[in-house]
Amino acid sequence: MARDGKTLKLVTRAELVIGKFQRIPGLLSWRDDVLVFQGIDGHTETIPPSRINKIVTADRMGSGRLLVKLEVLRFTDSEGEELEFVVARNSADAWRKMLGDWAGRQRLAETIAPETPKTASGSWWMRMATATATAAISAASGEAAVPEIRW
């Protein structure tokens, strides 16, 4: 699973759900921000993060079947197609943490605007540093107000 110099972030045993009572055992891994499943029968699924729209973890499968001591990771892609993986409960905790960190980085990357050209009020980085410093001072003095960044 670790080939071509790619870094593995998380690898767990998982089963790909292909029917209400049918699953393919294998390994589910996250490497270099790509989700990869490799089944023991040679079945492979690769999900690039750009296709992931929704991530759900639960103890009930999409078919309504209740899992005991297991959890399901359900990924919905941009076309509405769902992929479900059954994992052990402790593995689900590790996946939740790792996917939560990844989702946070994605949101942060979407909210940071590209650098704008310098204006009379200074560069974008200077305005951001000033706003961060003002927020730190406000937090230290006990004020709850968040400073407004003016462009």
Residue 22 covered by a domain: yes
Please check whether residues 13 and 62 belong to one and the same domain.
yes
In whole angstroms, how far apart are CA 31 and each of 3, 10, 22, 41? 10, 7, 26, 21
pLDDT of residue 147: 45
Do residues 20 and 94 both lie within one domain?
A: yes
Please give the pLDDT value at position 137: 55
- Domain total in the chain: 2
Can you give the pLDDT of all 151 residues of the chain as single tens digits? 445 556 778 899 999 999 888 899 999 998 877 889 999 988 898 888 888 888 888 888 888 888 888 999 998 888 888 889 999 988 888 888 888 888 888 888 878 755 545 444 455 555 555 555 555 555 555 554 444 444 4
Residues 92 and 49 in one domain: yes
- Decide if 86 contacts 72 (C-beta within 8 A): yes
Separation between Cα atoms, residue 52 and residue 47, nearest integer Å: 7
Q: What residue numbers bound the domain in which 128 lies? A: 116-142
- Identify whether 148 is part of a domain: no
Query: Is there a single domain that holds both residue 75 and residue 16?
Result: yes
CATH number, domain with residue 62? 2.30.29.30
52 and 86 both lie in a single domain: yes
Closest CA to 37 of 14, 22, 58, 45: 45
Q: State the Cα–Cα distance between residues 113 and 51, nearest whole angstrom.
A: 22
Residues 6 or more apart whose CB falls under 8 angstroms from that of 85 comprise 14, 15, 16, 17, 28, 37, 72, 73, 74, 75
